[in-house]
Amino acid sequence: MLENPSVDVLVPPLPPGEQSKSNRGFNHPYIAALLCPCKYHAKFQADPKRMARKMKDGTLKVDNNSLPFFCYDHALFDDNNGWKSLFRNVTLIRAARAILVGESKAMNGLDHPSHAPRKSNARNNGIKKIDEGFIAMICCQVRFALSSVEVWGPVDLDFHYDVFHNDILSIFEDDRVKGGYWAESILKWWNIQLFGYYPTDLDEDHDQDSDAESGTEKDFLGRAHDRHIAILRAAREGAESGSGGDGGAAAA
């Protein structure tokens, strides 16, 4: 979950092999920042201890009105345009690689030699590309792994995993109604991160606290959607006119 685990140090550290998850979730400052709903990101950055405490004790509800911050790339995150960083967090990619191609490649990259005695799950199961359903599943897996909840269940206080999963699918569906430029771009990026290439046959059809804020993730993303899509479309049209032929979708 660290941006650069070979250099960065988790403070406080989680003991290797620790079975209990009691030190995770909002009990850990770094993990709390990842679980923090996106709409509270700025307030969390300003006073992380206070916000983590309020989320832990339930004073501030952590529900499904805003995606957890781990769904966004930290370096690219923009309060005014969530689209360019959405689902680009390295933690999600590492979790996906661990499942599909093994832990060594998850931490060290696809070029890292694997000494595993068996083929990867991706190869064993003929998985050559992923879609938004896989991304939604990974997000649920990561959210549970980061939480302090010991046993998997569909509900974590005010947070519902089925709603989380369906909300992610809806984000892709809503974008496709408007042309699908962002959806195509993010799926291309994920497939390159996981397999090193982009399949050419990818389907393109595809009691209120003072800190509490109204609005949902759709409100946050909706404000910047048209502007972000215009950027993607302009880049795509520029690439096509420059090549003189049918170009592929520009990556965000």
| Structural domain includes residue 14 | no
Residue 58, exposed/middle/buried by CB under 10 A (0-12, 13-18, 19+)? exposed
Mean pLDDT of 212-234: 69
| Structural domain includes residue 44 | yes
Q: Are the beta carbons of 101 and 196 closer than 8 angstroms?
A: no
Mean pLDDT of 206-230: 62
Cα dihedral sign, 78-83-85-90: positive
| Structural domain includes residue 232 | yes
Q: What is the pLDDT of residues 15-32, one digit of tens each?
A: 777 889 999 999 999 999
Q: Give the domain range for residue 40.
A: 25-243
Overall number of domains in the chain: 1
Residue 39, exposed/middle/buried by CB under 10 A (0-12, 13-18, 19+)? buried
Residue 62: both structure tokens together:
């952590």
| Structural domain includes residue 18 | no
* CA atoms of 248 and 243, how far apart (whole Å): 10
| Structural domain includes residue 250 | no
Average pLDDT, the chain: 82
Between 83-97, 121-135, 195-209, 216-230, the lowest mean confidence (pLDDT) is in 195-209
Reply yes or no: is the peptide bond before residue 15 cis, omega within 30 of 0. no
Q: What is the pLDDT of residue 196?
A: 84
pTM: 0.75
| Structural domain includes residue 74 | yes
| Structural domain includes residue 191 | yes
